[in-house]
A and B are shown apart, each in its own frame.
Chain A
Amino acid sequence: MTEHTSPVSEAHSSDMVVLDHVTKVFRTGKTPVRAVDDVSLRIGRGQIYAIIGYSGAGKSTLVRLINGLESTTSGTLTVEDTTISGAKEPELRKARTNIGMIFQQFNLMNSKTVAGNVDFPLKVAGWPAARRRKRVQELLEFVGLGSRAKSYPEQLSGGQKQRVGIARSLANEPSLLLADESTSALDPETTEEVLGLLKKVNEELGITVVVITHEMDVVASIADRVAVMENGKVVEEGNVYDVFSNPQTAPARRFVSTTVKPTPSGDRASELIERHKGYLVSVEVTDHTDLGDVLSKLGDRKVRFNIVEGGLETLQGRTYGKLTLELLGEISAVDAAVEQLKLVTNVQEVRA
């Protein structure tokens, strides 16, 4: 696994979830499947932690290990002070009331109203009826569905169903929320609403959130840290900004390139070179890049520039992205301009 060392990875003294060499092997088919393969992770208290990977990477299995819906084959897994790996059913049931979970398909009970669905975990935890009623209303208000208590799930939109799912998962005031592809069945606008709500859960209630996804946009918009999974292994892990700005492994680079345009290469580079007669360079843009200063002075050197392509993201409140520039002018002047750019940021020549 590639580690991105950064202040954030050391700042959290108390961990919410700790996985130590955790492996899960399914032996249901002809050949055993190592769905989770020797994973060690620490998820800090109060973080939004994303786990990203392609289909079959083992993400769902990993979160299901965290709340004990699947049992570990080997390794130890703890949530707060509870050891989940190897725990017996009654212990697990108790632990689960402290761990909320939301699902891609919402998994609401169609036979119960919105209020009935949110009430269910309270009944499980043995709250008295009068307090339950108040708590249900409070939760529905929190997710913005205060007036829909008596509706049935089939009368709600996908986004509203997921809000009910979130209200239900928060019922017993958990300290950890697991979200397995919670926005994958939703359109972009609704996705944003639900992600906003998860952020609110994290910020206002201080709940640690583990977000499983295959979309890097989801990671970019809410996560603090990210783990990249492939074939049951965590191949790269770190602060979201670090992974985006400096992905170390092939799968991480592929995921990053879906949100942040990488330096053009191959066919895309050839195409750009064909369309532009100037010299093409790709420059990295971060908060601390004095790119503007350099660009504004290019004219003095008799060099003109065009922005050809690129993209910028805000990650954890900081800007990151890449821009491809076309530099036009005398060869020596362009060379000098590139040297000037290299002083302030990473510069790569665009080559076919």
Chain B
Amino acid sequence: MTLNSHSLIAATLEAKPKTDWAEVRPELLQATLETIQMVAITMVIAGIGGFLIGLLLYTTRRGNILQNRPLNFVLNLVVNFVRPIPFIILLVALGPVMLATIGTTIEMKAAVFGMVVAAVFAVARIVEQNLVSIDPGVIEAARAMGASKARIMFSVILPEALGPLVLGYTFLLIGVVDMSAMAGYIGAGGLGDYALSKGYQRFNWDITMASVLIIIVMVQFVQLFGNWLARKIMRR
């Protein structure tokens, strides 16, 4: 993989005039910061919103502390409706909603809007799936001790599922980085946009490859950190 990309870069270097790295470097840095910014904003909003929706999906199930079949049905319907839509289509389809709410369908603001919508439901589903694996006996014990529903949710359910949740969020964060690259299509900025407009469209493989490399390094770092954190929380 690395070998291949190196030889590819080498091949393009011979065919094309040299890339002016002095000019490209600050742009790459700028694009990287934009990617980090988009991903961070999306993860904070979708991470919290998705957690709450996922918690509701789980607790409104039959026999759980907030059992509510109509609400559970509706939540499931919405999640299943949004999730299968390919992100790039969703980004376009959300146009009217974006115009009505944030007043634009391009650039970073719009991209983050689309990313939040896509990510919030993905987070909700992943959170729900991790919560189902909690031993119901532990929740029963907390109820038997007179704990309130809010306390059960945030002092029992959340800590009991924290390890798997960290892994789930890591997985999602990488998905969001992926989305942010696609958001380049609507001129959102960031590494994806940079690779497309300065690299791909101008046949500059150096820039495309450099952007890709930065994304790979970021993703690797996030995954390693997530694994380390989850292992620490689960004590294994």
Residues of A participating in the B interface, judged by any CB pair closer than 8 Å: 28, 67, 69, 92-97, 99, 101, 103, 105, 107-112, 120-121, 123-125, 152, 154, 168, 171-172, 178
Contact = CB atoms under 8 A, between A and B. Distances in A.
B144 A96 contact: yes
B159 interface: yes
A97 B140 contact: no
Interface in B141-162: 141-148, 151, 155-156, 159-160, 162
Nearest to B235: A152
Contacts of A111: 159-160, 162, 233
B95 to A, nearest CB: 44
Query: What 7 pairs between A and B have smallest CB-CB spacing?
Result: A96-B146, A107-B141, A107-B137, A111-B159, A101-B144, A121-B145, A97-B146
A97 to B, nearest CB: 4
Contact of A120 (B135, B137, B148, B155): B155
B143 A69 contact: yes
Contacts of B162: 111
A92 B235 CA distance: 36
B48 interface: no
Given A109-B156, A109-B160, A103 B146 contact: no
Interface of B: 62, 135, 137-138, 140-148, 151, 155-156, 159-160, 162, 233, 235
Contact of A124 (B62, B138, B146): B146
B119 to A, nearest CB: 26
Given A107-B135, A110-B160, A120 B140 contact: no
Contacts of B62: 28
Contacts of A92: 146
B122 to A, nearest CB: 25
A60 to B, nearest CB: 11
Residue of B141, B147, B155 ringed by the most chain A CB atoms within 10 A: B141
A254 B143 CA distance: 35
Nearest to A96: B146
Contact of B138 (A28, A69, A108, A171): A108
Given A93-B147, A95-B146, A152-B235, 18 more contacts: A69-B140, A92-B146, A93-B146, A96-B143, A97-B145, A97-B146, A99-B144, A103-B137, A107-B137, A107-B140, A110-B160, A111-B159, A121-B146, A124-B145, A124-B146, A124-B147, A124-B151, A154-B235
Contact of A94 (B141, B146, B159, B233): B146
8 contacts: A93-B148, A97-B146, A107-B135, A107-B137, A107-B138, A111-B160, A124-B151, A168-B141
A97 B155 CA distance: 17
Which interface residue of A101, A152, A178 has the most chain B CB atoms within 10 A? A101
A107 B135 CA distance: 8
B145 A120 contact: yes
A193 to B, nearest CB: 21
Given A103-B137, A103-B140, A152-B235, A109 B145 contact: no
Contacts of B137: 103, 105, 107
Contacts of B160: 109-111
A109 B143 contact: no
Nearest to A122: B145
Given A69-B140, A94-B146, A125-B146, A112 B235 contact: no
B177 to A, nearest CB: 29
Contacts of A123: 155
Contacts of B155: 120, 123
Interface centre among A95, A111, A172, by most chain B C-beta atoms within 10 angstroms, is: A111
Contacts of A105: 135, 137
A10 B190 CA distance: 82
Contacts of A67: 144
Contacts of A95: 146
Given A109-B156, A110-B160, A111-B160, A69 B145 contact: no
